[in-house]
Amino acid sequence: MPQTCPNWGCELAARNRVIICICADWTRDDSRCTAPHADPTVEVGVALKPEANAVLEGPEWPARLDVRALLEDGWRPTPFREFVIKIHSRCNLACSYCYMYEMADQSWRSQPRRMADATIETVARRIAEHVESNGLTRIELILHGGEPLLAGPQSLRHAVTAVRSAVGGGVTVSASLQTNGMLLDSEHLDLFAELGVRVSISLDGDEEGHDRHRRAPNGSGSHRRVVAGLERLLEPQYRHLFAGLLSAIDLRNEPVTTYEALLDFGPPSLDFLLPHGTWDSPPPRAFSAASAAASADAPYGDWLIQVFDRWYKAPVSETRVRLFNEIIRMVFGRPSRTESVGLSPFAAVVVETNGAIEQVDTLKAAYEGAARTPLHVSRDSFDKTLMLPSFAARQIGLRALSDECLDCDLVRICGGGLYPHRYRAGSGFANPSVYCRDLFRLISHIATTVRRDVSELRENGQRRIDVNGRTEGTK
C-alpha cells in the first residue's frame, strides 16, 4: 500500500520511487503542518525529521539522502552560480534526440510558452537574495528554452536587465544564450551587443550529419538556416559575442569530418555531447555490422578519440574542446569546471517558464518528473533548494557514487559521468554512467597521451641543460 502524509493524506510512493511530502516539519506525532503544501507527487525530502524518514521504504537514490546528517558531518552546500532561465518552453525545431520533447518527460506540454514579466522579476529577486546571502560577486545567467529567441527581444532584454538591476552594481552577471540560431537577426544581435550577451549555437557538423536529426516540424533540414544565423553572428560587429558551438554525437557521422566542419566557423569553444540515454533507455551503440565489430564496447569513446587526436596533434591551437580540456586539467590535478566529468560540486539551477524551480533539464531523459521539485520562486528561496537531496547529491563528490565507480582508478577524473546517464529504475542514480566503457577508454587515452608528452618534454629539457652545462633545473 502507498504511504500517505499524516497531515495531508497525499500519496508518498510511485514508480519504484519514494515520494516525500514537502511538509518539512512533520513527524507521525504532529497534528498539523504549517508549511505551504506544494506538488505532492514529487520527491523532495526537505530537512525531514528522522521520525519522518522511518516511515519510508526502498527509495531510489538520492531520495533518502540524509541532508541533515551531511550538515552535521561538516558538509556545506556550494551556492548556485549558474541560473538557467527557461524563457520560452517551445521550439521551432523537432530534433529527434531532444531530451525536452522527445524523451521520457513530457512536462513541457503544461508549461506556459513564455515566462511572464512578473515571473522574471520574481526570479530576479530570488537570485539577488541568494547572491546576498552567500556573498557572491559573480554569477552566470543562461537564457534557455526550448528556443529562447522565440521569446522575442523584449522578454530577453527584460530578463537580463531585471537580474542585473536586482543584484546591484557590485555583482557581475555574465549573460549567455543557447540557440539553434535560425532566428538570429540584426535586432537580436544588436540587443546582445548592447547587453553583452554571448551566444552559443547548436550545430551537428556538416549538412548531412546535422539534418539527420535537427529538422523542422515539417521534416525539412535546418542546416542552411542555422548556418545563415551563424554567419550573421560572425559579422565583425557581432563576432565578439560568439561563445561557441554545441554538437551532439552521432556514430554515423565521421568524427574528423564533423570536427573540421565545425572548425570552419572558427568557434572559440566546441562542446561534444553524448546522446542522452540511461541504463533503461540506452543510447544507440552501432549502426552497422562494420562499426559494431570495430568498436563493440566503447564506440563513443573511440569516436571521441579520433577527434581528440586530430585536435591535439594540430600544429597550432585551433579551438577549445571543453571535454578534452577538462580531462587534461584533471589529469594534472586541477578541479573540473563541467558537470560531464569530475567531482566538483554542481552549482546550477533551472527555473521553468511557470516559475517552478527544477534540476538541470537533461534529467528529463531519465523519467517523467526526474527534474521536478516542489519548489517555486514565488514562495521558495534558492538557499532552500540547496537542501533538497536531489541537489545535495550533485555536490557531495565521491559519496554520491556507486561502489563500482569507487573501485575504478579513474574515478576522480570521470566522476561517474554526466548524472542523468547513470539512471536505472530501482537504484536511481547510484550507478556508473551508461557510457562507462566509453569514458574509461577516452580518459585513459588522453591521460596516456599527455603524460607521455610531458615526460618527454621534461627529459628533453634536462638533456639540453646537461649539454649546456647548466645546473639550475629544467627550462
Q: How many domains does the structure of the chain reveal?
A: 2
User: Does pLDDT of 115 surpass 60?
Assistant: yes
Residue 352 is assigned to a structural domain of this protein: yes
Task: Determine contact, residues 383/375, Cβ cutoff 8 Å.
Answer: no
Instruction: Say yes or no: 278 and 361 in one domain.
Output: yes
pLDDT above 90 coverage of the chain, percent: 77
User: Does pLDDT of 439 surpass 80?
Assistant: yes
For the chain, what percentages of helix, strand and coil (3-state, to nearest 5) are there? 40, 15, 50
Average pLDDT on 460-469 reads 45
Distance, in Å, from the CA atom of 99 to the CA atom of 114, rounded to the nearest integer, reads: 19
Instruction: Say yes or no: 332 and 352 in one domain.
Output: yes
SS3 label, residue 84: strand
Residue that finishes a domain, picked among 73, 100, 129? 73
Q: What stretches of 104-152 show up as alpha helix (H) in DSSP?
A: 117-134
Structural domain span for residue 1: 1-73
User: Does pLDDT of 279 surpass 80?
Assistant: yes
CA dist list (Å): 415 to 30, 262, 419, 424:
41, 28, 9, 17
Q: What stretches of 56-182 show up as alpha helix (H) in DSSP?
A: 67-72, 117-134, 153-167
Instruction: Say yes or no: 44 and 90 in one domain.
Output: no
What was the pLDDT predicted at 263?
Answer: 99
Average pLDDT on 65-90 reads 97
CATH number at residue 278: 3.20.20.70
Contacts of 317-323 with CB under 8 Å at 24 or more apart are: 318/263, 319/244, 319/263, 319/266, 319/267, 319/268, 319/269, 319/270, 320/244, 320/268, 320/269, 320/270, 321/269, 321/270, 321/271, 321/272, 322/269, 322/270, 322/271, 323/271, 323/272
Residue 17 is assigned to a structural domain of this protein: yes
Distance, in Å, from the CA atom of 304 to the CA atom of 324, rounded to the nearest integer, reads: 9
Instruction: Say yes or no: 11 and 103 in one domain.
Output: no
What was the pLDDT predicted at 99?
Answer: 82
pLDDT of 249-262, one tens digit each?
999 999 999 999 99
Rounded to 10 degrees, the C-alpha dihedral 404/406/409/413 comes to 110
Instruction: Say yes or no: 22 and 146 in one domain.
Output: no
Task: Determine contact, residues 339/142, Cβ cutoff 8 Å.
Answer: no
Instruction: Say yes or no: 222 and 132 in one domain.
Output: yes
Instruction: Say yes or no: 87 and 67 in one domain.
Output: no
Residue 456 is assigned to a structural domain of this protein: no
Distance, in Å, from the CA atom of 107 to the CA atom of 354, rounded to the nearest integer, reads: 11
- How high does pLDDT run on average in the chain? 86
What was the pLDDT predicted at 185?
Answer: 98
User: Does pLDDT of 147 surpass 80?
Assistant: yes
Instruction: Say yes or no: 67 and 172 in one domain.
Output: no
Residue 449 is assigned to a structural domain of this protein: no
Residue that finishes a domain, picked among 19, 40, 73? 73
Residue 166 is assigned to a structural domain of this protein: yes
DSSP letter assigned to residue 340: S
Distance, in Å, from the CA atom of 264 to the CA atom of 174, rounded to the nearest integer, reads: 27
Residue 329 is assigned to a structural domain of this protein: yes
Residues 6+ apart with CB under 8 A from 72: none
**How confident is residue 110, by pLDDT bands cut at 50, 70 and 90?**
confident
Predicted TM-score (pTM) of this structure: 0.85
Residue 265 is assigned to a structural domain of this protein: yes
**How confident is residue 286, by pLDDT bands cut at 50, 70 and 90?**
low
Residues 6+ apart with CB under 8 A from 246: 178, 200, 201, 202, 203, 271, 273
Residue that finishes a domain, picked among 326, 351, 386? 386
Instruction: Say yes or no: 34 and 96 in one domain.
Output: no
Distance, in Å, from the CA atom of 231 to the CA atom of 199, rounded to the nearest integer, reads: 13
pLDDT of 303-335, one tens digit each?
999 999 999 999 999 999 999 999 999 999 999
What was the pLDDT predicted at 23?
Answer: 38
Instruction: Say yes or no: 222 and 86 in one domain.
Output: yes
Residue 371 is assigned to a structural domain of this protein: yes
User: Does pLDDT of 70 surpass 90?
Assistant: yes
| End-to-end Cα separation, the chain, in angstroms | 71
Tell me which of 2-6, 118-122, 187-191, 414-418 is least confident. Answer: 2-6
Distance, in Å, from the CA atom of 357 to the CA atom of 299, rounded to the nearest integer, reads: 36
Tell me which of 121-125, 146-150, 281-285 is least confident. Answer: 281-285
Instruction: Say yes or no: 38 and 154 in one domain.
Output: no
DSSP letter assigned to residue 11: B
Instruction: Say yes or no: 27 and 50 in one domain.
Output: yes
